[in-house]
Chains A and B, each alone.
Chain A
Amino acid sequence: MAADGSQQAGVRRTVIRSVAALIGMFAFAFALVPLYDVFCQVTGLNGKVDTTAKAIIHEEVDQSRFITVQFITRGSAGLPWQMSVETRQMRVHPGQTAEVDFTFTNNSHQESWGRAVPSVSPSSATTHLRKVSCFCFQEQQLQGDERLTIPLVFQLAKDLPEEISTITLVYTLYPIQRIALNPLNNNNAAGDKI
């Protein structure tokens, strides 16, 4: 019986530890979500740009080379907006601050909300692209038929690696649902609600 007793104690100990590990791993899975974001922002690894404004750093401009910065705008389904940029590409020195205007037009007669999601290529350039002011930092609201022009102000870091000569910045415009939806209403292939 003594053997049984210590065996039971051993079993209990194993179970408690296993359950603790379990809970820990479940929490770890959820912790990975912000960790992934932090990791990507710190390393710039997937072209995901910081969503907070950065101050301009007063540093010398590297006049010896030009970087071609390209801008691409994309819309998406469900948002009747047009997004355009004043210039497709510009040439900027590392260390230089530049500004470019983006125009948003709501083609419908109702107000709606949208958000521009940025992505940068090559991803190694992301940490060197400092955004001082960007419409992508927050949602935009447009009344019916309204047109809005907002600048993007950015600075290319002086220490941008030598290998990079072209940076492409893509903005995809997504709709934001403001009407509270029945949770099951999101489904599409179920069909008839849409």
Chain B
Amino acid sequence: MAPKLPPQHSLQHSSSAVAGGQSQEGQSHYPHAAQPKGLMRWLLTTNHKEIGSLYLIFSLTMFFVGGIFALVVRAELFQPGLQLVEPEFFNQMTTMHGLIMVFAAVMPAFTGLANWMIPLQIGAPDMALPRLNNFSFWLLPVAFTLLLSTLFMPGGGPNFGWTFYAPLSTTYAPASTTFFILALHMAGISSILGAINIIATILNMRAPGMRMMDMPLFVWTWLITAFLLIAVMPVLAGVITMMLMDINFGTSFFDAAGGGDPVLFQHLFWFFGHPEVYIMILPAFGIVSAIIPTFARKPLFGYASMVYATGAIALLSFLVWAHHMFIVGLPLTAELFFMYSTMLIAVPTGVKVFNWVTTLFRGSISFEPPMLFALAFVVLFTIGGFSGLMLAIAPADFQYHDTYFVVAHFHYVLVPGAIFAIMAGVYYWLPKWTGHYPNERLAQCHFWCSIIGVNLTFFPMHFAGLAGMPRRIPDYALQFADFNLLSSIGAFFFGASQLLFVLVVVLCVRGGQKAPAKAWEGAVDLEWSVPSPAPLHTFETPPVFHRAQSHD
């Protein structure tokens, strides 16, 4: 008889009686030893749901850590003058804010969602390599404890921007840089191993009858993202290894004195860096592509185009890297090539936006919290895309580069872009994870406060940049004062609003209106066929997949 696991956590509810018929609870093929409890359970778990939750909790914590660094920056920039921190520390704050948000908040959040949802969406019992999965996660707290500890080392932490250009980050860097490199190596290994796991799962463990073109778009976008990760994280590893060698072993990869070239660093970094930003947005596209059809009660418009567009974006992302380097002194031919390729990548991105809007057209639309965030994503990410298109025009970029115009652009695509998509996904799937609906009133409040906060913070930055304010400065000329005042107010407001998100999540885990298996009326994918909350083990026997509609 099925051993009944004590319900320790509402996320882990595993009563065999509630099994939706798709799986035979407890008759797992791998007999469990006595289940460890407490800390050891979480240290040793190989379950994709538990690991998914670990990633998400880690990411949320780091989101606040990175957010506090941003608030230190915005507090100093509230007014002209140096009032609160020294420029030396300010540079550490801007650097760490970027590193933490990119590597410890956004990427792990998407990985957490992938861990939770990919097996459920393809009808697999778990990820392909569950123990590797555990290792991938636990690398992260180690890596980021190390990274954060550099702030307390003599000479301070990394202070050369999250893009860490040489020679500022090699010859002129603080002593802690070697630890920064080690931390980044660990985070990189974590991402790579996670990507291998995801590809292996998606390619080999889909339910019988589910072809590639039947997969939900979240699975597709993660598959493509995983390929990008495997292609470019090793390049990052190569670059930081070269840095390590320049700093400690007397090589001259990036040092003109020894025959090297600082610009080589930029080429290598951005060869990783540009696909990296697509790594941070493609899963968001997948989430939004699940949510909008659900709450418009209408199938996603142009499924095949969406898949091809995502693939096109991924391929093109390898050909645009030097648009971050337009003012470095590239030869004219190169400059033109990268301008054209960058302009071109706007096309598939635009196609995706048109497809979402057409999904809405003649739908039957309701505005639950996941939908609110998904709709805001479409509008605000597109605005970020517009400033990106302006940046692509190379001659104009000579005036935009390294100003707050660029800061505005990437914050629009990352905050109301990636972050809003993550929050939309969390609100969307919380009923599946916990068995409860998130508190609608509080979530709406979170939404409206976030919208106001995000726009108040980042919209004025466009103007500050156009007026001539450079990036990464702790003090500024008087003509930028009004814009900075607004941004700082917006930043604190936005930061405070995110506490509402934590509140909603915590309350939802503990209780709330009960959610059925199919929590949302218009939801169609496979995860909605298992109970809410999802039992610890699902799809131990693969489900028979019936195509709801043809995607051909």
Contacts and interface: CB of A to CB of B under 8 A. Distances in A.
A–B direct touch in complex (beta carbons closer than 8 A): yes
Task: Please indicate which of the listed interface residues A23, A28, A123, A189 has the most CB atoms of chain B within 10 Å of its own CB.
Answer: A189
B291 interface: no
A102 B203 CA distance: 65
Given A30-B238, A189-B155, A189-B172, A46 B128 contact: no
B248 A183 contact: yes
Contacts of B383: none
B257 A175 contact: yes
A146 B41 CA distance: 72
B257 A25 contact: no
A11 B264 contact: no
A29 interface: yes
Given A26-B234, A117-B256, A10 B203 contact: yes
A29 B270 CA distance: 12
Interface in B239-257: 239, 242, 247-250, 253, 256-257
Interface stretch (A13-21, A53-61, A64-72, A150-158): A13-21
B253 A33 contact: yes
Interface in A62-119: 76, 115, 117
A14 B204 contact: yes
Task: Please indicate which of the listed interface residues A43, A45, A48, A186 has the most CB atoms of chain B within 10 Å of its own CB.
Answer: A186
A4 B258 CA distance: 56
17 contacts: A11-B128, A18-B195, A25-B231, A26-B234, A28-B234, A32-B271, A33-B264, A36-B267, A46-B261, A76-B257, A117-B257, A123-B329, A124-B331, A183-B249, A187-B173, A187-B175, A191-B155
Nearest to A21: B230
A190 B205 CA distance: 52
A30 B251 CA distance: 13
A81 to B, nearest CB: 13
Interface residues of B, number: 46
Contacts of A177: 250
Contacts of A32: 238, 264, 267-268, 271
Interface in B219-240: 230-232, 234-235, 237-239
A22 interface: yes
Interface of A: 3-4, 7, 10-11, 14-15, 18-19, 21-23, 25-26, 28-30, 32-33, 36, 40, 43, 45-46, 48, 51, 76, 115, 117, 123-124, 172, 174-177, 181, 183-184, 186-191
Contacts, number: 118
Contacts of B171: 186, 188
Contacts of B268: 29, 32
B261 A183 contact: no
Given A33-B264, A51-B259, A25 B235 contact: yes
A31 to B, nearest CB: 9
A11 B175 contact: no
Nearest to A13: B204
A151 to B, nearest CB: 22
A175 to B, nearest CB: 7
A25 B232 contact: yes
A188 B172 contact: yes
A186 B257 contact: no
Interface in B254-284: 256-259, 261, 263-264, 267-268, 271
Contacts of A188: 171-172
Given A7-B205, A18-B200, 8 more contacts: A11-B129, A18-B230, A22-B234, A29-B237, A32-B267, A184-B248, A186-B171, A188-B171
A26 B185 CA distance: 12
A22 B204 contact: no
Contacts of A175: 257
Give me the 9 closest cross-chain CB pairs, A-B, nearest first.
A29-B238, A174-B257, A10-B204, A26-B234, A190-B175, A25-B234, A14-B200, A183-B248, A29-B235
Nearest to A48: B261
A19 B193 CA distance: 9
Interface in B40-73: none
A64 B329 CA distance: 31
Contacts of B128: 11, 14-15
B196 interface: yes
Contacts of B77: none
A19 B233 CA distance: 12
A19 B196 contact: yes
B331 A26 contact: no
B199 interface: yes
B2 interface: no
B259 A117 contact: yes
Contacts of A51: 259
B146 to A, nearest CB: 17
A116 to B, nearest CB: 10
Contacts of A186: 171, 247-248, 250
A159 to B, nearest CB: 18
Contacts of A46: 261, 263, 329, 331
B261 A36 contact: yes
A176 B259 CA distance: 11
B54 to A, nearest CB: 22
B348 interface: no
B519 interface: no
Contacts of A45: 331, 334
Contact of B230 (A25, A29, A115, A184): A25
